Amino acid sequence: MLDKKEEKKHWEHIYQTKSPLEVNWYQTNPSMSLELIEKTKFNKEQRIIDVGGGASILVDCLFKEGFKQLAVLDISAQSLQYAKTRLGETANQIEWYETDVTAFQPVHPYELWHDRTVFHFLTHAEDRKRYVRALKNTLVPNGHLIIATFAIDGPSKCSGLDIVQYDAPLLCAEIGEEFELLEVRNETHITPAKVAQKLTYFRFKRRFVSLFRV
């Protein structure tokens, strides 16, 4: 089990020793994420944050589609550097946060939180609580939440680390009643080494909770 310092070291080491094109989670087309974002009927002026986005090309795709308020958060500086270098000048129009998501303090709210295979690394209940706290501090009421994890019949490790596999009841129990589950989709991801990995994507909407009761 890694402590917080070791966790960051682990991820920096991965990105310093491997090309982002050869890591297991690399995708040439983040089609499921794009499809689910499209389903939210998201206004292109609203803010999207890709949590644990690392060197993923999701941000490039969203930028090309005309989304204007994009942010990428990752614990690894090296992963963000890959993305910035790839994007060139465009990187200046994107917000970058090098931080552990469980300690994230947003400078402004976001309307969509996307996380592909980050939450599943949180094997301690306390870290999951901190993640949900950061999520609630970041996402507006009626905001959209997309989380992908390894499926119940998927791998039990990712990047050499233990993970927690989720189905809808397990994830809903962690995320809480404030989030309404709208859609669940399965994906078989083929890694660059041609290994099949089963993922599940969950799309939620944050309920609007009124402070005034009649």
Ligand X SMILES: C[S@@+](CC[C@H](N)C(=O)[O-])C[C@H]1O[C@@H](n2cnc3c(N)ncnc32)[C@H](O)[C@@H]1O
- The residues that touch ligand X, with contacts defined as CB under 6 A, are 11, 25, 52-54, 56, 74-76, 79, 100-102, 116-118, 121, 158-159
Give me the helices (H) in 44-194, please. 58-64, 77-87, 125-138, 168-175
Q: Distance of CA 169 to CAs 72, 156, 174, Å? A: 28, 18, 9
Nearer to ligand X, 82 or 208 (CB): 82
Nearer to ligand X, 54 or 143 (CB): 54
Residue closest to ligand X (Cβ): 54
Nearer to ligand X, 12 or 183 (CB): 12
Report residue 51: phi and psi, to 5°. -85, 125
Nearer to ligand X, 175 or 209 (CB): 175
Could you give the CA distance from residue 137 to residue 131 in angstroms, rounded to a whole number?
10
* Helix %, strand %, coil % of the chain (to 5): 35, 30, 35
Q: How far is the CB of 18 from ligand X (least distance, A)?
A: 11
Give me 39's structure tokens: 């389903």
Strand partners, 185: 201
Q: How far is the CB of 11 from ligand X (least distance, A)?
A: 4
Nearer to ligand X, 53 or 214 (CB): 53
Q: How far is the CB of 27 from ligand X (least distance, A)?
A: 6
Q: How far is the CB of 170 from ligand X (least distance, A)?
A: 19
Give me 121's structure tokens: 């690394």
CB neighbourhood size of 104 (10 A): 18
